[in-house]
Each structure stands twice: as structure tokens, then as C-alpha cells.
Structure 1
Amino acid sequence: MRFLIVMLAYLGAMGLARADTLAVDTGRGVRAWTTTELLSRPDARDIRVPGDVSYHATRTYRAVPMKALLPGVPADAHLQFTARDGFAAEIPASLIIDGHGAHAWLAVEPDGAAWPPLGAGKPSAGPFYLVWIDPDKGPVGPEQWPYQIATIKVLPDPAKRFPAMRPDPRLGADAAPVRGFAVFQRHCMTCHTLNGQGDAKLGPDLNIPHSPTDYLRADMFRTLVRNPQNLRRWPQSKMPGFDTHVLSDRDLDDLEAYLKHMAGRKVQP
């Protein structure tokens, strides 16, 4: 027994006991991929990623084409990338399977060769990180670069999974709150729930007990979204700012309309 304990400690020190695993659930069963398996795939290659969203620099990774890990997944499916810290990125499969020129890659952190930390006191983006080449052709937003990925699942779209998030069904398809719900799905539900529904665990609920539109003036709401550090500042804050390249003024107007609308549709979880 003592010999076994000593050997496990030795292997751990040598980096051989590490078992980073990515679970991919395509709806036809779960496939668990280890770091070694992914790096050994014949389609793994070194890619250069200019303007990496998380590292704010050009980075080179050993990576696998993301769509190659999604066999049989239709373009109209919906994908959820869940990180170790509870961040849950919602990405339409069409963006990965046919990104109209934007190419998604799963970067894999090699055993024994950790990537740089994301900041002081922070871990790296590994072991698994969704990166993009030519993201502007998608277009792909910064919230669609999830890192420290633990699981990837094919799920129904959020409107079906979370009915308490939906605007009044009597609204027309081009109504501002309906458009704002689409903005919320792209940019907000990675970190926030609404009416107690959603899979994210990082940020507060945006309707219970109060919507930010209940207590913020319109200009302060826009400050919260554009540059949250100008409204509230604390060391553990993780909310990024959304500039006009990521979130247009019209999208921000629609998001505000959605949140105001949902403030009148509160559902206690």
C-alpha cells in the first residue's frame, strides 16, 4: 500500500497522473476526450490566433477543428459550453458547423506545458479553450470564446428550455423585447439567470428580485453594460464591458426593452 501511494505521488509530480477530460454530449451518448487523445488526433495542428480575446495578444495553440468533435450534430442544434467556474456559453451549432468563414477550434493545453495565466492570481485558459480564426466573418462575440471548458452539450434552444425567460408570446417577431431576448441569449445568459431560470452561475439574476431597469436610470444602465467598472468597482468583478463593436446601440436598446418588459413578468423561482 505504501508503495502504491509513493508511486502515485511520483507520477503526479511527473505530470503523468493528470487526467484532464472533456465530456462531449451530442445527444447520442457522452464521449470523454482526454488531453492526450485530442492532441494525438490526426487533425490536430498548430494554429495562429491573432487578437486572442482572452489573452489580448496573438497566440499559437495545438488545436482540433471543433466541428470534427460534433459528428451528426445538425446545424440548427444548440450547443452549451460549460466551464469549470460555472460560465455557460450558448452557441448555435450553425456558427461552428458553417461559420461563413469563421473557423472554430478547440485549443488543448498540453500536459506539462501550461499556458500563461489569464491575469495575476488567475489560472490559464486551459485545459480546453474554444478559439476562432476570422471571427468577424461569423460574427463571433467575445462571450463565444469559452475557456476552461469542462463539458459540451447539445441542448434545446433556451426559449424551449427556459419558458420563464420568454417575452409575451403575443408580441410580434420584430418587437423590441423579442429582439432583446435574442441579445440576452447571445450576451447575458452566459453569466446570468432570469426569473430563476438558466444554467449560468457567475452573475446575479437579472429579474429576481429586481431587474436592473427597476433601479437604474437609462444612462446608468448603459454605463453598466458599456463599462461596468465605471458604475461599480470591486476586485472580484468579472463582468466585461460591451463596446459598440460587440453590442450595437440598437442591440443595447433592444436589451433594455426586453429587461423592462420582463420586469413586468416576474416569476418567483
Structure 2
Amino acid sequence: MNTNLKRMIALAGLMLACASSMAASLVINVGGERSLTAEQLLARPDAATIRVPNDVTFHRTMTYRAVPLRALLGIAALPADKELQITATDGFVTHLPARLLFGDAKKRAEPWLAIETPDEPWPQVSGSGDIGPFYLVWIDPAASGVSSEQWPFKVDAIRIAPTLAARWPQIAVGKNVPADSPIRRGQRVFATQCMVCHKLNGAGDASMGPDLNRPHNPTEYFQPWVLKSFIRDPKSIRAWADMKMPGFDKNALSDGDLDAVIAYLGYMAKHRK
């Protein structure tokens, strides 16, 4: 195959991907369902070019065309027992609690929905390919404690949903567990960082990874040091062609949070439901 033909094929593929991105639609249901295309979102008067330092996915400063998520939602609060659920076409599901979206306005992280444009397609991501056309990004994420798993890409729907604990009591620890126990801390971290891909005791919306307590819990077949290493860098322990699990460095998951998650998993291994 000559060089010119390769270029033509590559250009055709790029044009097809761009056309597909523009035709893709985002479902929003926060009191009435609506569907918006990339073209409609980019035409909004509040669409802007934003600069995102230390982008979680690309690990560098990125520039996007985006719309402010709060304005896009058009709501000022969430009911006490509800969260914002964001789903992706690859099976990833994350939840944003009300405090992230409607916390103290003086200093808080600012969520934006980035939209991939035909003239500036985003780079491919190893293991995920094209992550567009919709990607939730944050300005000043540290101000509200935004986690690495609260930057979903390939977004296809945004909805109001009950909190994870309200929907699935089987993920909760017993009342006899002290309030300051690392097990309780581990439950909170697990819900934010792990349930975006995994289920536990059959609970959860995500479908990217296996259930982490059925039929067996990883604390039952991994030695503690191996499990820690696996979470930090999965490929250092086990690797395969279609592996999708990312590693969690100390910026994404502190040593304290990692120990808490493992304590929670160990507890749930004895409380399989």
C-alpha cells in the first residue's frame, strides 16, 4: 500500500470519526429528559474554550471547548437522598454527590462538559481509544476533593439517581463498626473509586469489571502486599491484552485510602450477601 493511499484512508477514518462525534447525543434527565447533540452543545452561548491543568486522563494541560455543567443541568440543588449519576458507553458509571456540585460557591471545583470538535479531535488514550465526544473535566478539582474516578469520558447520559447506599444496602457495613474505623472510610472510598467499574455483592450499575465479593473477594486470593501492588500498578502483577484496569498512584488514592479500601474488602469477605 503506497503512502498516499494510507494517508487517504487515515483521513477518511478521521472524517468518519468526527462525523460520528457530532451526531452523537447526550441524554440529560434532571426533571425532564432531553437529548442534545455535540453540535447543539457547542452552539450554546455559554460554550467556552477552557484550559485544564493536570488533566486526569491525559496527564498534562489540555484545552477544550466546553459548557459549564451547572448551567447545563439548570438546577440549583439535589434532594438529600439523591446524587448525579453519569454513565458512559463503555460501562463506566460514576456518581457526584450534591456537595461537589452545589457546595460553597466561594471556593469550589468547577465542572465542565468538554465536547470534542471535528477540527480538533482529542488524542487516543491507551486502552480506551477515542474517549469522546463528551468528557467531564474539572477546574481546580482539589478545592472540593474531586477524585480521579469523577472525570468520566465517553459520557452518554446524566441523570438524578438515589445514592448508592440508599439503593444497595448490601454494601453498607454493620452498625457495630465504629464511626472512625478505617472500614467505614474504606466503604466511602470504594463507592467513589471502585464502584465506577465494579459491583459488590451484586450491587452497582457499572459493568466494566467483575463483582469484588462474588464468588470470591480479592483479599481471599491475593496476599496483602500483592493486592496493594495490583491496585497501584495492575500490570506489575498480572497483565493481558484486553486489560482495562488503571493503576491508582498516590495522587489518585493515598496510602491511607488504599489501606481503608483493603480493610473494607476484608470485612465484606466475611459478610457476603
Paired residue secondary structure (2:62): strand
Unpaired runs of 5+ residues, structure 2, are 1-15
Q: Which residue of 2 aligns with 1:79?
A: 84
Q: Which residue of 2 aligns with 1:145?
A: 151
Instruction: Please point out which of 39, 44, 47 is paired with 2:42.
Output: 39
C-alpha separation in 2, matches of 1:210 and 1:157 = 25
Shift of 1:93: 3.0
Q: Which amino acid aligns with 1:96?
A: L
8 A Cα contact 2:21 2:116, kept in partner: no
Aligned runs of 1:28-177 on 2, under 5 Å?
28-72=31-75, 74-75=77-78, 76=80, 77-98=82-103, 100-111=107-118, 113-119=120-126, 122-177=128-183
Shift of 1:112: 5.8
Shift of 1:101: 2.9
Q: Which residue of 1 aligns with 2:13?
A: none
Q: Which amino acid aligns with 2:216?
A: H
Q: What stretches of structure 1 move > 6 A for 4+ residues in a row?
A: none
Tell me the TM-score normalized by structure 1.
Answer: 0.87
Tell me the TM-score normalized by structure 2.
Answer: 0.86
Unpaired runs of 5+ residues, structure 1, are 1-11
8 A Cα contact 1:64 1:105, kept in partner: yes
C-alpha separation in 2, matches of 1:123 and 1:229 = 19
Instruction: Please point out which of 219, 222, 226 is paired with 2:225.
Output: 219
8 A Cα contact 1:15 1:112, kept in partner: no
Q: Which amino acid aligns with 1:22?
A: L
Provide the alpha-carbon RMSD of the alignment.
2.3
Paired residue secondary structure (1:57): coil
Shift of 1:110: 2.1
Identity of aligned residues (%): 44
8 A Cα contact 1:35 1:111, kept in partner: no
Relative to structure 1, the CA distance from residue 253 to residue 17 in structure 2 (aligned partners, 3 Å threshold; closer, same or farther) is closer
Q: Which amino acid aligns with 1:81?
A: I
Shift of 1:239: 1.3
Instruction: Please point out which of 13, 24, 29 is paired with 1:25.
Output: 29
8 A Cα contact 2:234 2:245, kept in partner: yes
- Give the number of aligned pairs: 255
C-alpha separation in 1, matches of 2:148 and 2:38 = 24
